[in-house]
Structure 1
Amino acid sequence: MFIQDFGLDQVWITDLFSLSDTIAVPSRRRRRKEVITLTPQLYAYLLANVPEPPILRQLRQETSTMPGSQMQVSPDQAQLLAMLVQILGAQRCIELGVYTGYSSLAVALVLPESGRLVACERDGKSLQIAKKYYELAGVSHKMDVRHGLAADALKSLISNGEACSYDFAFVDAEKRMYKEYFELLLQLVRVGGLIVIDNVLWHGKVADPLVNDPKTVSIRNFNRNIMEDKRVSISMVPVGDGMTICRKR
């Protein structure tokens, strides 16, 4: 982005991807409300004040020793997901990209006894850890675990007549498949239901016009398209690596 400060009360920002798009934001000189920078110290404070059930802490600690542990959602992300499920009063949920099960377990713990969570993961090794913790937490009866490609699992649910029967979905799977996942989930989630997409800020790369690798470009395009999609209302939240909450209209 180009940023021009005219010395008054506004900074004009021009989007490099569309030079016709120019917006005004408050200048630092007369800014009325600042956005807090989440320093390591402040983030440590935040995590210290996020309630984390012991079983989730145990899973997080075990996962931290594994290769690829950065794929696990953070405790504050999991808390937000669980809160959204509770606010919705969700009964039927979907998760794409389970890894070792931290986020799916957080959701399962707040689902009612009759609730159902379809958990899709292609990596069998990490899925075994997730299943172990579902058992330890006593939520296995709520879980419908699908080992394989997420898109195939969604198509199976649709062909099984389950369209518009889910309340909530969380997407944390292959980034270049986000568009396809989203279209399939729109068929499965009811009106008023939520689809939450992870990694939409992609380590900050989406805001850097010099970064154009396939995953970054894919997420950047997805973010732009979903902002203009009239089928949903959205809120992009800077939690973790960025999450977009979509409510189906």
Structure 2
Amino acid sequence: MSNQSISLTPELYDYLLGVSLRESAVLRDLRARTAELPDSNMQIAPEQGQFMALLARLTGARRAIEVGVYTGYSALCVAAVLPPDGRLVGCDLSAEYTDIAREYWRRAGVAERIDLRLAPAAETLSALLDDEDAGGSFDFAFIDADKTGYAGYYEQCLRLLRPGGLIVVDNVLWNGRVLEGVTADEDTRAIQAFNRALRDDDRVDLSLVPIGDGLTLARKR
């Protein structure tokens, strides 16, 4: 027994994947394709994608938002568990990376469920908020984009979510750099401030889960 989360050795991590990961062939191929890219470290861990899909199922999600799509692995995980008439609005700037995403979304048969918008995420979220039918209508949001934008994306997503909806935020442990002091760079300081703000936000129920690079789950009250 332990009174804190255990550290995962490479062997224990392999065991975790071996007894729990249910990764489709398309997801596996997409992960392998992404691993060939120079910035493949932006890819989420496969067990994290599976965890997010489970969270989307548990919330009964029909409408989802993703801020930061990259090559589409997390969007595919979530879109695959939405109902046939479900929709995921994906926010990104890169046509190069999202062209890869579109290829695998088509292969998985979920392309029609994903509304990809190539524009600054703050603009896309503002446009959704301007739609009188959109506010409070989303069930699930995932934020994994520029760290200095996290606070703003969170506020916009919170307004778009219904009560009981869930926001999932990636990289909140930032590979341990959240422990840095005055030498911390701008991105690290942004995550540190974001984590402190969420701790004190009584609009949500909160948990920080040490999976991947740290996931914060914030359920709108």
Q: For this structure pair, what is the TM-score category when the shorter chain's length is used for normalisation?
A: over 0.9
Residue of structure 1 equivalent to 2:125: 154
Residue of structure 2 equivalent to 1:51: 22
Describe the superposition over 1:45-83 as per-residue Cα deviations: whole angstroms up to 9, x where unpaired: 212231111110010001100111110111111011000
Separation in structure 2 between the aligned mates of residue 33 and residue 124 of structure 1, nearest angstrom: 45
Say which SS state the counterpart of residue 33 (structure 1) adopts.
coil
Residue of structure 1 equivalent to 2:160: 188
| 1:90 has 2:43 as partner | no
| 1:248 has 2:214 as partner | no
Residue of structure 1 equivalent to 2:200: 228
Q: Hey, which bits of structure 1, 4+ residues long, moved more than 6 A? A: none
Using CA pairs below 8 Å that are at least 6 residues apart, which structure has the higher relative contact order?
2
More helix by share: 2
**Contact 1:71-1:99 within 8 A present in 2 as well:** yes
Deviation at 1:210, TM superposition (A): 5.4
| 1:131 has 2:102 as partner | yes
Residue of structure 2 equivalent to 1:118: 89
Residue of structure 1 equivalent to 2:144: 172
**Contact 1:171-1:198 within 8 A present in 2 as well:** yes
Distance 1:96 1:46, change over 3 A: same
**Alignment partner for residue 47 of structure 2, among 67, 72, 76?**
76
Separation in structure 1 between the aligned mates of residue 99 and residue 71 of structure 2, nearest angstrom: 8
How many correspondences in the alignment?
219
The gaps in structure 2 that reach 5 residues or longer are none
Separation in structure 2 between the aligned mates of residue 43 and residue 138 of structure 1, nearest angstrom: 30
The TM-score with structure 1 as length reference comes to: 0.85
Deviation at 1:33, TM superposition (A): 3.4
Separation in structure 2 between the aligned mates of residue 32 and residue 85 of structure 1, nearest angstrom: 29
Q: Which one-letter code corresponds to 2:29 in the other structure? A: Q
| 1:37 has 2:4 as partner | no
**Contact 1:205-1:211 within 8 A present in 2 as well:** no
Deviation at 1:170, TM superposition (A): 0.2
The gaps in structure 1 that reach 5 residues or longer are 1-30
Q: Which one-letter code corresponds to 2:96 in the other structure? A: K
**Contact 1:200-1:242 within 8 A present in 2 as well:** yes
Give the share of equivalent positions with the same residue, in percent: 47
Tell me the C-alpha RMSD between the 2 structures: 1.2
Rg larger for: 1
